[in-house]
Amino acid sequence: MLVFAMVAHEYAHAAVALQQGDDTAYVLGRVTLNPLPHLDPVMSLILPALLWFGSGGRFTFGGAKPVPINSRKFRNFKRGDILVSAAGVVTNFLLAFVWSLVFVLLGLAGRAMPGSSEVLLTAQRMMVHGIWLNLLLCFFNLIPIPPLDGSHLLYHALPPKAGEWYRGLQRFGYLPIFALMFLFRPLMEVLLTPAFSLMNLLGALIAPYQVGSGGVV
């Protein structure tokens, strides 16, 4: 569920960039749901593993390979940048609702086929993970700190000079994000409040359709 959530996020960036006139990602084979072109050995495998085992399973962080974007190819720079930046988070947001619907359908199938409850309950557990991971990716990437997607959206709301300075923070890479996660954890939790709130709402809506009583939601 995590791999698909990340791949769908990057695919959306690449597909919308192509639609807006930038074929950079397309030429590199990134307009695909095949996970291999989107996974980065360091960010997708090595770093998450090191953080997970180094923290005793308390923390991890990683990501897919960023989609290369050449905004100079957009037919309209502002429109293209906003649409491409929003594409990933919108996709994750919609996937959370798709997996919620699948959870309900699995629950209805469980009522019609009681003998398959164990298999369907396992599938529902997967859907719950999918809902949460997509909400987390959506609202995490909306945090307005470069190089996250939210920073591109905020950039266009700032005056030109302030926007240029703000966008220049991208040269620090993921350092501002790591600082937020490790040094300002309470603020991080506040920024992710929409993800927790929406997860609670969706969980309450789909809970009546849970197969059996395994405490999935």
Residues with catalytic annotation?
10
Does the CA dihedral 55-57-63-65 come out positive or negative? positive
Measured in whole angstroms, how far is the alpha carbon of residue 153 from the centre of its chain? 16
Amino acid at 14: A
Does the CA dihedral 189-192-193-197 come out positive or negative? negative
Contacting residues for 30 by C-beta, under 8 A, at least 6 apart: 10, 11, 14, 37, 38, 67, 68
Give the DSSP per-residue string, 142-174.
TSSSTTSHHHHHHHTTS-HHHHHHHHGGGGGTT
Q: How far apart are the first and last CA of the chain?
A: 16
Q: Closest Cα to residue 44, out of 69, 84, 7, 79?
A: 7
CA distance 146 to 88: 15
Amino acid at 208: P
